[in-house]
Amino acid sequence: MSKKLTAGTEQEARRASAPKHRSIACVELITTAALALSTAVAVTAVSIGIARADVIGAVANGDGAPFAIALLIGLPLAAMGGITAIMAAGPRQD
């Protein structure tokens, strides 16, 4: 008798929780759309920042300090990104 009671309770729990969950495809779609929108906003902000910085114009006029500072910051960041990509591509050691 207790087996039937337990089995019935489990079935009721499954039925009650199933309609409340969204499908995984719907959640993935919403997440992908949010990521695409965030990427577009970030690209726009960086583009505006580059346009306002006028580093290339300063280098053309003979003042290389802003360009040197940009390289000093940018090159190590690019190197860290490259190293991370190389390390991520390797086999996992668990």
pLDDT of 37 higher than 90? yes
Looking at 18-22, 26-30, 33-37, 67-71, which range is the least confident one?
18-22
Looking at the chain, the whole-number percentage of residues with pLDDT higher than 90 is 31
Q: Which two tokens stand for residue 12?
A: 């009721």
Structure tokens at 49: 């920042």
**What's the CA gap between 71 and 67, in Å, rounded?**
6
Q: What is the pLDDT of residue 13?
A: 61
